[in-house]
């Protein structure tokens, strides 16, 4: 009887060891499977990598402020479309930064490449239209300074067309007078300047009066327009010394605008749903007969394609792409 009990105890002891071994094996197998799932599963790794990349991309494309060269409400706050510089030798893309507007001047076409300005009710006042068209003495020595008489309306039939409008700068007499500098003018068909273009300018001021602020760029592109005296590619300017300059007559005038409620921290308030307006209007006699300015709306991408400029380049790419399509 004692021998049987002894065998029974031994049998129980062997079974207990088996259980322990089995548990160890199962535990090891569990740990092995867990490690494979977490670190060796190519599908999971791919998903984790995708989620990580998506998070990084989302963070990169969020409103992380770049290093701004210009303050909020400055025309170049969101970027310099043509990378214009103040290098005098850069005479086809010379940067002129004034309190009322900023421009890139082209000493070959004798016109601005573009003019940029910010518009809100802060720019409005009681100043009357100055009407004192004059040369811009801030142009560097050696640049031709276009004069009021150089437009020769009776011979060529083009208006001295404001790019930044006189009525956008009425806070002070000085502000209004600055808009009459010839560096802020392009030869413009009267039917555009006095009707289609003018109506768009008035609409922009309406938006400002409704409580919005606007970032605006505008300018000429191409050569060859038709005014009240016919079609011309340029207006020849003869100086007293006998030298001849050719002032370009643009084929189109364009404008791009960002509109947002007046406020602060504009960079972070601009998103994919922010309103934009962009037009490309033929510089042609009778242009008003085809409709008002809304008939000439184009995407900002289109304006960039024909001008080779990059507007609002400091915005995150995903937002810039959405606004410009």
Q: Could you give the residue numbers annotated as active site?
A: 162
Alpha-carbon distance of 270 to 96, in angstroms, equals 27
The values of phi and psi at residue 313, to 5°, are -70, -15
Alpha-carbon distance of 105 to 87, in angstroms, equals 12
Contact 153, 247 (CB under 8 A): no
For 292, residues 6+ apart whose C-beta sits below 8 A from its C-beta are 196, 199
Residue 290, helix vs strand vs coil = helix
Contact 254, 282 (CB under 8 A): no
What kind and span of H or E run contains 60?
helix 42-61
For 265, residues 6+ apart whose C-beta sits below 8 A from its C-beta are 72
Task: Give the helix ranges, DSSP H, for 81-227.
Answer: 153-156, 173-178, 190-191, 197-209
What are 317's strand-pairing partners?
Answer: none
Residue 78 DSSP one-character state: T
For 136, residues 6+ apart whose C-beta sits below 8 A from its C-beta are 96, 145, 146, 181, 182, 183
What are 256's strand-pairing partners?
Answer: 217, 278
Structure tokens at 37: 């799932």
Residue 36 DSSP one-character state: I
Torsion over CA: 227, 181, 110, 76 (sign): negative
């Amino acid at each position: 009887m004692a021998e049987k009990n002894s065998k029974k105890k031994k049998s129980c002891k062997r079974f207990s060891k088996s259980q322990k071994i089995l548990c160890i094996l199962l535990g090891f197998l569990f740990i092995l499977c867990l490690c494979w799932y977490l670190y060796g599963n190519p599908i999971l790794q791919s998903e984790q990598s995708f989620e990580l990349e998506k998070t990084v991309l989302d963070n990169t494309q969020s409103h992380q402020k770049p290093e701004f060269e210009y303050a909020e409400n400055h025309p170049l706050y969101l970027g310099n479309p043509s990378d214009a510089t103040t290098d005098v030798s850069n005479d086809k893309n010379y940067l002129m930064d004034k309190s009322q507007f900023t421009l890139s001047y082209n000493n070959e076409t004798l016109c601005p490449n573009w003019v940029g300005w910010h518009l809100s009710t802060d720019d409005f006042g009681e100043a009357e239209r100055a009407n004192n068209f004059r040369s811009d003495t801030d142009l560097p020595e050696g640049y031709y300074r276009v004069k009021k008489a150089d437009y020769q309306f009776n011979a060529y039939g083009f208006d001295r067309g404001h790019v930044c409008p006189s009525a956008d700068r009425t806070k002070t007499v000085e502000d209004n007078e600055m808009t009459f500098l010839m560096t802020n003018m392009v030869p413009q068909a009267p039917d555009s300047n006095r009707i289609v273009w003018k109506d768009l300018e008035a609409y922009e001021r309406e938006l400002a009066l409704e409580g919005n602020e606007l970032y605006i760029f505008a300018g000429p592109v191409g050569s060859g327009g038709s005014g009240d005296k016919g079609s011309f590619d340029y207006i020849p300017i003869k100086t007293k010394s006998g030298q001849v300059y050719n002032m370009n007559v643009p084929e189109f005038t364009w404008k791009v605008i960002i509109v947002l409620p007046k406020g602060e921290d504009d960079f972070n308030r601009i998103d994919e749903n922010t309103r934009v307006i962009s037009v490309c209007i033929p510089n042609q006699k009778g242009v008003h007969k085809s409709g008002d300015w809304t008939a000439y709306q184009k995407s900002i991408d289109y304006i960039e394609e024909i001008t080779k400029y990059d507007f609002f380049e400091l915005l995150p790419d995903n937002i810039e792409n959405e606004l410009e399509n």
